[in-house]
Amino acid sequence: MAYTLAKTFWLLAKPSNLIVLLLTAGVVLLWLGRHRLGTALVTLGTIPLVALAFLPIGFWLLVPLENRFLPPEELLGQLDGIVVLGGAEETVITQARGQPAIGDSAERLTTMVELARRYPEARLLYTGAAAPITRALLARQGFDVSRVNFEFEARDTYENALLSKRLAEPRPEERWLLVTSARHIPRSVGIFRAVDWPVIPYPVDYRTTGRIELDSHPGAGTGSRLADLDLAMREWIGLIAYRVMGRTKELFPSP
């Protein structure tokens, strides 16, 4: 139930969808003669579009998320395991085209392969409902998928942590690395801590330079900036929602 409610809420709260809903509702009300309310809704939908045409608001919101945890410069000593969160897979395209397809978060997979070579004795765990796509892709690339323990049921980050822990059964003294997108690391670390699985964060898939800049992506259009805003708001809303639900113990987990 919580998963369904979360997906429904995000469908409405996603900035790009919310702007469209405001503009559509405003136009309908104007056609129905409700000029005051219609004008107000059209104005509310237009203001963020105009702002995004000139300001990289989403980029600014992503920076503190991506800067919260820095990757370890060097992993000293023994590394017992590496857990990688799914999310790079393009399920619909894979089904339509008959071959594994991945999207913008591909660094999660490439980093797993790199780390697997650096730490051949470490246990590998990949978690997410679309994990079969990743397994097929890795097999095509000649990677030994028998090294990876795949978890196929998790639909969100909370289930990633909970089901992965049941599968891995990590001991308190073990050192596990957590690989996911940098913007997603704060919420992920908070959830893993909440299920009593301390992990070493290894952020990848950066979308910002780490600095607040006025012109973050020269030549970027409103669509690109709106996409950044969607990504940022998903994490900020997720941090609040998971804290309210008790799935994390900190509002903004820190190192």
Report percent pLDDT > 70 for the chain.
Answer: 95
The DSSP code sequence of the chain is -HHHHHHHHHHHHSHHHHHHHHHHHHHHHHHTT-HHHHHHHHHHHHHHHHHHHH--HHHHHHHHHHHSSPPPS---S---EEEEE---B-HHHHHHHSS--B-TTTHHHHHHHHHHHH-TTSEEEEESTTHHHHHHHHHHTT--GGGEEEE----SHHHHHHHHHHHH---TT--EEEEEEGGGHHHHHHHHHHTT---EEEEE---S-SS--SSSSTT--HHHHHHHHHHHHHHHHHHHHHHHTTS-S-SS---
Answer yes or no: are the C-beta atoms of 128 and 151 closer than 8 Å. Answer: yes
pLDDT along the chain (255 residues), means of 10: 74 88 94 93 92 89 96 77 92 89 88 93 94 92 93 94 96 95 97 96 93 71 86 95 94 94
Q: Which domains does the chain have, with CATH numbers?
A: 2-66+222-244 (no CATH), 78-204 (3.40.50.620)
For residues 148 and 102, give the distance between their C-alpha atoms in angstroms, rounded to a whole number: 18
pLDDT, tens digit (0-9, with 9 covering 90-100), for 190-201 = 999 999 999 999
| This model's pTM is above 0.85 | yes
